[in-house]
Amino acid sequence: MGSMTRRTFGAAVGTLALSALPARAKADAANTKLKIGVLLPHSGLQALIEQSCQKGADVAPDLIRQVLGVDIELMNADTESNADTARTRAERLIQEGANVLVGAFDSGHTAAIAQVAEQRGVPFIINIAAAPQITEQGYKFVFRNFQTAPDIVREGLALIGELFQATNTVPRTAVFMHVNDTFGQAMAKGIGAFMPRLTQLPFKIVDTISYDPAAKDLTVEVSKAKATNADFLLLVCRLNDAIILRREMVKQRWNPMGIVSPGSPGMYEEQYYKTLGKLSEYSISNVPWYNPNAKVTRIVEKAFLKQNPKDKLVFHGLNAGFTFEAILVAADAFRRAKTTDPKTLAEAIRQTHITEKMTLGGPIKFNAKGQVEGIGSACVQNLNLLPTVVLPKSAATAKPVFPVPGYKKA
């Protein structure tokens, strides 16, 4: 941290809401440790992405203690990539004394945890999960610092329009492939709702193909997609299936103009690059992203590199950034509330107002439903084996490449 003081970091993380809270009856924050239960899929299909999220959680305790004077303890739990397990782990963490829950990356897991948190009256801060229904239940203890699926789709489709303008291309058709889990279905619903309204987009979807994210073979699905002769592939995926799908495209010699995700994980993950090598190049993900130039990003990156000297934040910016911010929200609320009383903590979270942060978009503040608003997205393209922002121009470090080299119109 060098010469950075607690006061200067306070300016860096932004203006915190100081509105009056209900009477505090319990321990002062300066003398009490906040216990945060972090629920992530340590094992199962999504374990590799969990490792990325966990890196953001791991830098939080020491950094927040140094700069905010808040003492937090992480209580890590494995959802095992299973919603039922996520529910039982959440129950156990609460029984073991967790004051706040954070997680859980997967929308299905997150929805299960939200039910537990609401029933038990314990604040739950969602790091990453997009299914819109999670914050449409009237919950009082559930808060999400991430875009909903409709927000992701809206931002993602708008960036596709910008991509075509920036590259002077006019694709006429797309085949839409998506995972059939909670997240994938929410994204598909969002695309079905928004596409008819976005008349400025030049393409139409000629076929929709869903598949199991746990599938070990996507031969049939890729063959069906190739047969559409669509100009490009619109893809909502996870990590493992994205790797399998890309390999199958090469095997079947299917070379569309490109692969574009309107907002899903997988293709910007480090394992995608490590496994596929040059085959990972040019894939595009329009996703909520972090701002590499933000003050908070630079602070977190120093701590991140200290803990992970052989790693690069660019491979973990989304996962680590939103996980760190979820913990920051909890610590900030605890600092203001000066208590671990769950109702008072929830009220403090509801009054959050953090203007400077890692991620793109407006300040962290929650509406009446507990949903953050104004998070921005970026068009992230795999270039030179690195996830690279190519749009919007204000945040871009390279120009987009579309269509991809090797594309041949059938």
Q: Is 112 helix (H, G, I), strand (E, B) or coil?
A: helix
What is the C-alpha separation between 200 and 242, in angstroms, rounded?
A: 28
Q: Nearest CA to 331 among 125, 113, 137?
A: 125
Angle at 24 between CA 23 and CA 25, to 5 degrees: 115
pLDDT tens digits, one per residue of 307-358: 999 999 999 989 999 999 999 999 999 999 999 999 999 999 999 999 989 9
Mean per-residue pLDDT, 288-298: 89
- Say which residue the tokens 């009256």 belong to: 121
Reported as a pLDDT band with limits 50, 70 and 90, residue 20 is: very low
- pLDDT value at residue 13: 52
Query: Is the pTM higher than 0.75?
Result: yes
- pLDDT value at residue 9: 52
- pLDDT value at residue 395: 84
pLDDT tens digits, one per residue of 79-105: 999 999 999 999 999 999 999 999 999
Answer whether residue 207 shows pLDDT above 80.
yes
- pLDDT value at residue 57: 96
pLDDT tens digits, one per residue of 113-154: 999 999 999 999 999 999 999 999 999 999 999 999 999 999
What is the dihedral sign for C-alpha 258, 264, 267, 272?
Answer: negative
- pLDDT value at residue 196: 86
C-alpha to C-alpha distances, 42 to 53, 76, 199, 203, 347, nearest whole angstrom: 10, 9, 42, 39, 31
Q: CB atoms < 10 A from the CB of 284, how many?
A: 28
- pLDDT value at residue 21: 33
Answer whether residue 49 shows pLDDT above 50.
yes
pLDDT tens digits, one per residue of 386-396: 999 999 988 89
Mean per-residue pLDDT, 40-46: 87
- pLDDT value at residue 23: 34
- pLDDT value at residue 279: 97
pLDDT tens digits, one per residue of 229-276: 999 999 999 999 999 999 999 999 999 999 999 999 999 999 999 999
Answer whether residue 28 shows pLDDT above 70.
no
Are 398 and 246 spatial neighbours (Cβ–Cβ below 8 Å)?
no
pLDDT tens digits, one per residue of 145-203: 999 999 999 999 999 999 999 999 999 999 999 999 989 999 999 999 998 888 789 99
Alpha helices in 105-257 (DSSP H): 107-120, 149-167, 182-194, 219-227, 239-251
Angle at 85 between CA 81 and CA 87, to 5 degrees: 115
